[in-house]
Amino acid sequence: MVRHKLWFAELWRRIVANGDIYLGNYEGWYAFRDEAFYDENELTLRPDGSRVAPSGAPVEWVKEPSYFFRLSDWQDRLLAFYEANPGFIAPGSRRNEVVSFVKGGLLDLSISRTTFNWGIPVPGAPGHVMYVWLDALNNYVTACGFPDQTAARWHFWPADVHFVGKDIIRFHAVYWPAFLMAAGLPVPKRVTSNGWWLMDGEKMSKSLGNVVEPRKLAEIFGLDQIRYFLLREKPFGADGSLSHAAIISRINVDLANDLGNLAQRSLSLIARNCGGVLPARGPVTEEDQALLDAAGGLLEAVRAHVERQTFHDGLEEVWKVIRAANGYIDRQAPWALNKTDKVRMGSVLRVLVDTIRVVATLLQPVMPASMGRMLDQLGVAADARTFAGLAVPLVDGQMLPAPQGVFPRFVEPAA
C-alpha cells in the first residue's frame, strides 16, 4: 500500500504536468454504492421522488471542492483511438455503447474528494483524497512496477486484455485510456466486458437477496460441469439466465450424451474387443481423414475464439467435432466390424481415440479434472497433455486402463 501511494503520486504528477488536472468545484448526483457520479438523464425517477442510478443504487446531490481531469479535451482523441483500434472494446455491442457515449460529449471528471479522509492524499493538496476510480484503475500499472520500468513485472504492461463487468465498461474504456495517455503510458490492448447472470430477469444483488452461491452449485452439479455451463450457455459479454434446468440440460445433453458417451463407447469397445490394447491405425479412408482433419483444425479454430473472448463459439467448434465423431462411430459400427474385419475395427477405434484426445486436450482449461480423467483413460502421459504434445502420436499397443464414465447423467433427487 505504501508503494502504491508513492507510485500513484508520481502518476498524478505526470498528468498534472500534461495540463490535464485543475482545481474547481463539483456538484452532481452521486451514488455512494457505485462510488460514481451520474448525469440527470442517466437516472430513473421513482414514484416517491427519489432517483436511482442505472445500477439501481440510490443517488444524492453532492457539492464539494474537487480537482478535475480534463476529460472533455480527450473526446476527439479517444474517438480517433477507437477508430484506429477497432478491437480495443469487446464485444461489439459494448464498443458501440462506448463510442456513442463519447460522441455525445464528455464532461470533465471530478477526481478528488474532500468529504472524507480515507484514500490516497492528493500530492500538495491537503484535505483532498483521490477519486476511487482514478486510484483503483491505476493499481494495474503500479502493481506492474510503475514507474520503475526495470521492475520484474513491468513486462506485463500493457495488458493483453482487461475483463470487466458491463456496468463498469465506461471506467475502463473511457476514463482509463484517457488517464494513461495523459500520463504518457501505453494503453491495454483490449477491454472485454461481460454481461450479467440474471435470476428471474434481474441482476444478482445482495440487496435483492437473489444471489446464487457458486460453491453450492458446484456441490450439486460438479465444479467442472459448472465451469463448462458458464462458458457455454451464453455469449461472453451478453446477459444470460441461470437456472437449474439449463445446467442439467448442458450436463445431460452436451457432457453425458455427446462427449461422455462417445468416450465410453469407444474405450469400452477397445477393452472388450481389443483386450484393452490401443489398436494401430490402418489404411485411412476418406471418412477417417475427414474426422481427423476436423480434429486437427480445432486448435487453430479454438485459439482464435479465445483470443477474441468468444468462448461459447470456441466450445461450439469443439462440439462440432464431438458430434461428427458420434456420427462417425454410428456409421462405421465398429461393434459390427468386430465380426467381419477386426483390422478395420481397430483402425476405426484408433481414429476415435485420436479425435477424443484432441478434444480432451483442448477442453482442459474448461474442465481440468474431468479431462484429466479422460486423458488418463486414453493413455496420454501427463507430460504430453499440451498443445505441442498433440503432434506426438500415442504408442500402438499400449495397455489402456479400464474405462470409467466421466460424465454421469444428472438425475434430480426425488422431492
What is the amino acid identity at position 114?
T
* Digit-coded pLDDT (tens) for 315-330: 999 999 999 999 999 9
Q: How confident is the model at residue 3 (pLDDT cuts 50, 70, 90)?
A: low
Give residue 80's pLDDT.
98
Hey, where are the domains in the chain?
Answer: 2-194, 250-391
Distance from C-alpha of 385 to C-alpha of 389, rounded to nearest angstrom = 6
Who has greater pLDDT, 132 or 341? Answer: 341
Top-confidence residue, 413 or 138: 138
3-state DSSP call for residue 15? Answer: helix
The residue that leads in pLDDT, 116 or 96, is 96
| Top-tier CATH class for 250-391 | mainly alpha
Distance separating alpha carbons of residues 245 and 248, to the nearest angstrom: 5
Q: Is 48's pLDDT higher than 60? A: yes
Determine the Cα–Cα distance for residues 372 and 393; give it in Å rounded to an integer. Answer: 18
Consecutive H or E run containing 63: strand 60-69
pLDDT at residue 303, rounded to an integer: 97
Which range (64-68, 220-224, 370-374, 402-406) has the least confidence? 64-68
Q: What is the pLDDT of residue 38?
A: 87
310, 235 in Cβ contact below 8 A? yes
| Rounded average pLDDT over 11-16 | 92
Under a CB-based contact definition with an 8 Å cutoff, are residues 154 and 148 in contact?
yes
Q: Is the pTM of this model over 0.75?
A: yes
What pLDDT was estimated at residue 4? 60
pLDDT of 164 reads 95
What is the pLDDT, as a whole number, of residue 281?
94
**Helix 368-377 and helix 342-362, axial crossing angle in degrees, nearest 10:** 160
Asked if the model's pLDDT at residue 1 lies above 60, the reply is: no
pLDDT at 359 over 90: yes
How big is the chain, counted in residues? 415
Q: What does the pLDDT read at residue 349?
A: 98
Q: What angle do CA 355, 361, 367 make, to 5 degrees?
A: 120
| pLDDT score at 7 | 77
Rounded average pLDDT over 156-162: 95
The angle formed by the CA atoms of residues 190, 188 and 297, to the nearest 5 degrees, is 40
Please state, as a whole number, how many other Cβ atoms lie within 10 Å of the Cβ of residue 160. 9
Return the CATH number of the domain spanning residue range 2-194: 3.40.50.620
What are the CB-based long-range contacts (under 8 Å, 24+) for 2-8?
A: 3/142, 4/120, 4/139, 4/142, 4/143, 5/120, 5/121, 7/142, 7/146, 7/147, 8/120, 8/130, 8/135, 8/138, 8/142
CA distance 171 to 35: 11
Mean of per-residue pLDDT scores for the chain: 93
- From residue 17, alpha-carbon distances to 11, 14, 73, 184, 293 in Å are 10, 5, 15, 11, 58
Q: Who contacts 299 (Cβ-Cβ below 8 Å, separation ≥6)?
A: 358, 362, 387, 390
Tell me the CA distances in angstroms from 145 to 108, 154, 368, 386, 390, one per residue in order.
Answer: 29, 6, 32, 32, 37
What pLDDT is recorded for position 118?
81
Give the per-residue pLDDT at 63: 83
E-state strands within 122-220:
129-130, 162-165, 191-194, 197-199, 202-203
**pLDDT given at position 27:** 83
Distance CA 46, CA 239 (A): 25
**Beta strands 129-130; 112-113: pairing state:** antiparallel
DSSP code of residue 404: -
pLDDT tens per residue, range 217-272:
999 999 999 999 999 999 999 999 999 999 999 999 999 999 999 999 999 999 99
Percentage of the chain beyond pLDDT 70 is 99
For residue 317, give Cα distances in angstroms to 144, 246, 313, 320: 35, 20, 6, 5
The cell numbers describing 177, all together, are: 485510456
Over residues 57-80, the mean pLDDT reads 94
Q: Which helix (H) or strand (E) holds 112?
A: strand 112-113
Write a three-state SS string for 18-55: CCCEEEEEEEEEEECCCCEEECHHHCEECCCCCEECCC
Cα–Cα distance, 203 to 199 (Å, whole number):
6
Amino acid letter, 288: D
Q: Are 78 and 100 in contact (CB under 8 A)?
A: no
Which pLDDT score, from 0 to 100, does residue 414 have? 67
Kindly indicate the confidence band of residue 32, based on its pLDDT and cuts at 50, 70 and 90: confident
Statement: residue 19 has pLDDT above 60: yes
pLDDT digits (tens, 9 = 90+) for 103-137: 999 999 989 988 778 888 898 899 899 887 788 89
Query: For strand 51-52 and strand 112-113, is the pairing parallel, antiparallel, or unpaired?
Result: unpaired
Pair type for strands 21-31 and 60-69: antiparallel
CA-angle at 38, arms to 29 and 24, nearest 5°: 70
- Lowest mean pLDDT across 53-57, 258-262, 348-352: 53-57
